[in-house]
Structure 1
Amino acid sequence: MKVTMIAREYPPYVYGGAGVHLRYLSQELSKIMEVEVRCFGDQNIPGQALSARGYRMPPEFEAKTHKFNPAIGTFATNLHMMLDPFDSDIVHTHTWYASFGGFLAKTLYQVPLVATCHSLEPLRPWKVDQLGNGYHLSTWIEDLVIRNADRVVGVSRLMKQDVLEHFPIRPERVAVIHNGIDPDKWKHTPISDELKKTWGIQDDYILFVGRPTKQKGMEYLIEARERIDPGVQIVMGAVGADTREYEEMLEKRIAGRKGFLWIHKLLKEEEYIQLYSSAKVFVCPSIYEPFGIINLEAMACRTPVVATAVGGIKEVVVPEKTGLLIPPADPQAIADAVNRLLKDRKTAERFGEAGRQRVEERFSWAYIARQTKKMYQELLAGRRKAIAVPDLPADATLNRYGFDSGTFQALREDLIAGRRGEGKNVVTGAFAQPDAGDFRDVAALAQKERTRLAKVGREAMAAGKLGVAIVNGGMATRFGGKVKGIVEVFDGKSFLELKLEQVARAAKRAKARVPVFIMNSFATEAETVRYLERNDFFGIPRQDVFLFSQFIFPRLNPDGSIFSPHPERPHERYYGPGHGDFVFALRQSGALREFLEQGGEHLWYSNVDNLGATPDEILLGLHLESGAEMTVELAKKLPGDKGGAPARVDGRLQLVEGFGFPKDFDADRIPVFNTATYLFRAAALDREFELPWYATEKQVGDGKAVQFERLTGDLSRFLSTHWIVVEREERFFPVKTPQDLEAQRAALKKRLSK
């Protein structure tokens, strides 16, 4: 796998955090894949695993004959980059300066485009001072690329939120991968006498490092000078101003004030490490900061941090643990925080040690590179190598929803050859009845045990370890063409509204964030998205709702030919190949990786039409204490119940669908059945599974069609599984048809209104 990174900054021309990011990310990525860098400049760095080439702005633009040349010249440089041959699998851009080149690569070479947002133009209106009306060009190209990127990367969760607020893009297309740092290089290194002498640095100093721009808030640090211990020097390593006018304004404010040292030169990396290491306090007074890698650099060098509580800084600096967070644009707050740490050296040292530990655990570049490569793999998995299906008409819908033509054609050939079909779905192996001791009966739990388990579950929720997955796929056929999830159940409330209300109540009880993952299908996606957006996601924060879709297959006739739907119902040509898509689509969308990255550990899975399957503290406690990778909710079987049930196959207890039982095995003797509600240890889902495919016949219009499907319950074949029997009247009341809804409406309202 090969990626082409496109950026403005790359060594030796690095002026800000984006350049630092690309330098280290490309180095670490090159250890596990091939990386090519195309950047602004005159670099020419050949290499097998990592190569870099710089591209100069055409001379007529460098001459700056009018004020728009910097912006127009940026576009010209991007065009220049695309003149060279391109053979990468992925193109990955950094900042708007390089976005147009990435857009061209995606369009011309049909490769996935990743765009990392280190900042956002709509949040930096002061850049009009730098670019004039050229700023409108930069905002336009940023908008173009974010709208068209296959994955947008925010360097913080707040950056993701900003992207969602300012651009019409769905959350599943925005990943969060933090900036990182090399902890082996960035570590405490006392300042040398030579460096102190060269610049006139005193023994006691506080430090600022960053570009002199409005967003960095340097003027507020300058204004705080008179209120900070006069015996402490303020050292500012600031170079690369957006405009000379802003830099001159800062110089005028410093003039006549004692205790300032402004280093107007880009230092060597080892010199910055020394500066950070010997500073008494590092100050980051930014008014806008998507991430703030400078805080990581200070923490890696065991220096306590005083930083503003804006943007991604709040995801890096832990208040009262690795530093102090203060309001932005507040000189008095800066002075108070700095003076506190100057006086309380024990606390300052404790913050420094904790900062170093946090860097090592969460922000190493090796970890960031692995996360980035995994994201690339997710994108490429969604572009499976296609094979020709001669009698299948070309359709953009198939590509959009991840049609795997290779798998489809192999299954189809099996059907034609008689190796697959409804009579071929029986699971092979030696079957045996489950034992009574295989299941934990929730109803039999003593009150003391319930209280204890509820505490375990509630603490896990409060720690942000739980997410909720809702299956909202299918073909939207049983309710007259209306998506079941948005059908009214009672009092104007739909299935989805009631499910999301249940999540919101659980989150409120636990005082926690509980993200929701909704799997749609090509038939339910558009209407579901419009419905949720129109109703503001029913109280769940927008950034906490992750929408993704299952895959798509064409239907077949029983003889293996492509099914032709009625001309008035063209959508019937396709279907979603079973809820077993869940684990594959979740990974491919990036949702699973992001959930794990944010500290999520467990996912509660249920169908949208089972309103009894709510997040429950006791059941979560049972799942956690079992240590299992999967917990299955079972219910006691009643006469007439059909569906899957647990059975031993070759000694292993696993779920078997009704059609999977051999004729000589009495499945009716199994006293319980599968409710299709599961709890998963999320990390256990982050791997490949060979789930079996089943061929089923469906009545579609006036004819029969064959569909291939996978089932989520078959994960019990691969995962360590805990089995619990829940109280049916509390946890299981699904609604499959309009007739079911009419019959149960009053009972549902009574149960759900408790």
Structure 2
Amino acid sequence: MQGDETAGLVQVKEQLAACGQSHLLGFWDQLGAAERTGLLEQIGELDLDKISAWVETLIKRAPDAAVHHDGFEPAPSYGIEPTTDAERTLYADALRRGRELISAGKVAAFVVAGGQGTRLGFDGPKGDYPISPIRNKTLFQIFAETIGAVSRRYGAVCPWYIMTSPMNHIETVGIFESNDFYGLGRDNVFIFQQGTLPNFAFDGRILMADKASIARSPDGHGGCIRALARSGALKDMKDRGVEYLSYWQVDNPLVKLFDPLFVGLHALDDAQMSSKAVIKNDPKEKVGNFCRIDGRISVIEYSDLPDELAEKRRPDGSLAFQLGSIAIHIISTDFVEKLNTEGFTLPLHRAVKKIPHIDANGHPVEPDEPNGVKLESFIFDALPIAERSIILEIDRAEQFAPVKNATGVDSAESTRQMMVERAARWLESAGVAVPRRSDGSPDCLIEIAPSFALEPEDLTARADQIPPIRPGDRVDLV
């Protein structure tokens, strides 16, 4: 047995030497048996055959992010509303098809929820952040209630897949257990962790967090592709007959989780991965830009889009590159399966960060300045791999209100305001009078539970259950 272990260690040393990372075993003689086992497991999870290429192309020098392509053009999209008879027929067919697929249990919810609420001044998983205007429901609770309401409406079990990160997985599982999985049933909520990637010093060495631990970070939302397969979530979907994933990020309480029009357009077009988009507020808004390159949909980050393209206008004055990416997708499970073929990875992106680590003598280092590189992958990099992909424009005010910051833009305050404003519009569309201030904002607080209404049309049927609203009222519809 000892001989096998020694032979294995010799092989690991050879592999590390080949990619310039022998220092990972620099403290081996100081480690106990359990620490040695843990370190070897961490090394075994590294893509050692790719490390040298990452160091040369991503660590020692920053890749050229400028966009260089002759075939670069704006991406086509479906509008918020159909404008021709042919489109009206298509949208009607898509709604019908989407509803059929949801009713048949072919659509599942999938949220990436690996972040903490640090920027919000909140100590815990971001999904546990209380955000609703009156009841202070958390993001997780809002999503869960929506999934429950959809399941009842369509007479189907709509499973929920949640990707966490190593920093919040245990706490997230505890939140769901303590809330009895929000009434969805333990068997219908699948919580799993994303993977990690090593952190590098600028010279290409992998940093050590301590003598027995590699410094690692979550591998980005693009890591969900591999994590779905590795965790068993993809097999669970296949066993259930799930064919489509409704993907979103945990910070958006206005997301329409099960959108039959979106699902139907994706299915009718036989697409593999599709996206929702908003019209950008300004040329340099900090969202990704949907483009088409060689006939494939791609997302170019706002910082990488040349100014001349960002400012380019159409004859009617609108932006040529006007479609902003908001990380809402439909992904076919067959496509996820295809992307998990052996050796496949999405492109990696570098981020220069301050990374705590130990030095060559084992002393802890807390850097004051950026001292290394973290790597991550982005889900939108799967788009150009898809043979078919559609984009559906949405009304930002209806479906996109991310809560990212403690104050200012995309803050809890702005998100709650958008939630109240959307609820007010829904009520007014059903003929309910909503008091408004001189600036047009609602002069009341309104919260509409998903069980009361999933969309504006639901309120018309329940108008007799809605009391008159006076200025300053708190309207809690459950």
1:702 aligns with 2:368: yes
Shift of 1:525: 0.6
Alignment of 1:157-176 (within 5 A): none
Distance 1:665 1:636, change over 3 A: closer
* SS at structure 1 position matched to 2:201: coil
Bigger shift: residues 394-403 or 513-522: 394-403
Instruction: Name the structure where helix makes up a greater proportion of residues.
Output: 1
In 2, Cα distance between equivalents of 1:493 and 1:715: 33
Two-structure CA RMSD over aligned residues (Å): 3.6
Is the contact made by 1:661 and 1:667 (CA closer than 8 Å) also made in structure 2?
Answer: no
Q: Specify the alignment match of 1:691 in structure 2.
A: 346
Q: Specify the alignment match of 1:458 in structure 2.
A: 99
Query: Which amino acid in structure 2 is aligned with residue 726 of structure 1?
Result: I
Query: Which amino acid in structure 2 is aligned with residue 441 of structure 1?
Result: G
In 1, Cα distance between equivalents of 2:346 and 2:94: 33
Is the contact made by 1:606 and 1:678 (CA closer than 8 Å) also made in structure 2?
Answer: yes
Q: Specify the alignment match of 1:737 in structure 2.
A: 405
* SS at structure 1 position matched to 2:74: coil
Deviations 1:424-469 (A, max 9, x none): 344654342226xx11002346887655533321211111100111
Deviations 1:85-118 (A, max 9, x none): xx9xxxxxxxxxxxxxxxxxxx9xx9xxxxxxxx
Is the contact made by 2:82 and 2:88 (CA closer than 8 Å) also made in structure 1?
Answer: no
Q: 2:55 aligns with which of 403, 409, 413?
A: 413
- Where structure 2 has 5 or more consecutive residues not aligned to the other structure, the ranges are 9-13, 26-34, 313-319, 356-366, 424-446, 449-478
1:631 aligns with 2:308: no
Distance 1:708 1:448, change over 3 A: same
In 2, Cα distance between equivalents of 1:450 and 1:402: 49
* SS at structure 1 position matched to 2:419: helix
Query: Which amino acid in structure 1 is aligned with residue 323 of structure 2?
Result: V
In 1, Cα distance between equivalents of 2:353 and 2:183: 38
- Where structure 1 has 5 or more consecutive residues not aligned to the other structure, the ranges are 1-82, 88-106, 111-384
The count of residues paired between Structure 1 and Structure 2 equals 369
Q: 1:595 aligns with which of 237, 242, 256?
A: 237
* Identical columns (%): 26
Distance 1:392 1:598, change over 3 A: same
Alignment of 1:219-368 (within 5 A): none
In 1, Cα distance between equivalents of 2:402 and 2:43: 27
Query: Which amino acid in structure 2 is aligned with residue 522 of structure 1?
Result: P
Query: Which amino acid in structure 2 is aligned with residue 523 of structure 1?
Result: M
1:433 aligns with 2:84: no
Is the contact made by 2:348 and 2:375 (CA closer than 8 Å) also made in structure 1?
Answer: yes
Q: Specify the alignment match of 2:302 in structure 1.
A: 658
In 2, Cα distance between equivalents of 1:673 and 1:584: 26
Distance 1:722 1:430, change over 3 A: same
Q: Specify the alignment match of 1:721 in structure 2.
A: 389
Q: Which has the larger radius of gyration?
A: 1
Shift of 1:633: 0.6
* SS at structure 1 position matched to 2:187: helix
* SS at structure 2 position matched to 1:441: coil
* SS at structure 2 position matched to 1:686: helix
Q: 2:292 aligns with which of 631, 634, 648?
A: 648
* SS at structure 2 position matched to 1:514: coil
In 1, Cα distance between equivalents of 2:392 and 2:236: 29
* SS at structure 1 position matched to 2:391: strand
Q: Specify the alignment match of 1:47 in structure 2.
A: none
Shift of 1:607: 0.2
In 2, Cα distance between equivalents of 1:529 and 1:522: 12
Q: 2:322 aligns with which of 657, 666, 671?
A: 671
Is the contact made by 1:429 and 1:650 (CA closer than 8 Å) also made in structure 2?
Answer: no
Q: 1:747 aligns with which of 418, 430, 433?
A: 418
Deviations 1:190-236 (A, max 9, x none): xxxxxxxxxxxxxxxxxxxxxxxxxxxxxxxxxxxxxxxxxxxxxxx
* SS at structure 1 position matched to 2:22: coil
In 2, Cα distance between equivalents of 1:439 and 1:461: 23
In 1, Cα distance between equivalents of 2:224 and 2:39: 19
Alignment of 1:142-157 (within 5 A): none
Distance 1:417 1:538, change over 3 A: closer
Is the contact made by 1:416 and 1:560 (CA closer than 8 Å) also made in structure 2?
Answer: no
In 1, Cα distance between equivalents of 2:189 and 2:260: 21
Is the contact made by 1:434 and 1:653 (CA closer than 8 Å) also made in structure 2?
Answer: no
Is the contact made by 1:656 and 1:714 (CA closer than 8 Å) also made in structure 2?
Answer: no
Query: Which amino acid in structure 1 is aligned with residue 328 of structure 2?
Result: T
Q: Specify the alignment match of 1:711 in structure 2.
A: 378
In 1, Cα distance between equivalents of 2:15 and 2:127: 32
Deviations 1:243-302 (A, max 9, x none): xxxxxxxxxxxxxxxxxxxxxxxxxxxxxxxxxxxxxxxxxxxxxxxxxxxxxxxxxxxx
Deviations 1:66-88 (A, max 9, x none): xxxxxxxxxxxxxxxxx9xxx9x
Deviations 1:683-709 (A, max 9, x none): 121123442111122356732131111
1:391 aligns with 2:391: no
Shift of 1:574: 2.7
In 2, Cα distance between equivalents of 1:447 and 1:504: 30
In 1, Cα distance between equivalents of 2:302 and 2:214: 26
1:487 aligns with 2:126: no
Q: Specify the alignment match of 1:539 in structure 2.
A: 183
Shift of 1:560: 3.0
In 2, Cα distance between equivalents of 1:449 and 1:717: 25
In 2, Cα distance between equivalents of 1:450 and 1:586: 31
Alignment of 1:91-110 (within 5 A): none
In 1, Cα distance between equivalents of 2:279 and 2:124: 32
* SS at structure 1 position matched to 2:172: helix
What's the TM-score once normalised by structure 2's chain length?
0.68
Query: Which amino acid in structure 2 is aligned with residue 686 of structure 1?
Result: E
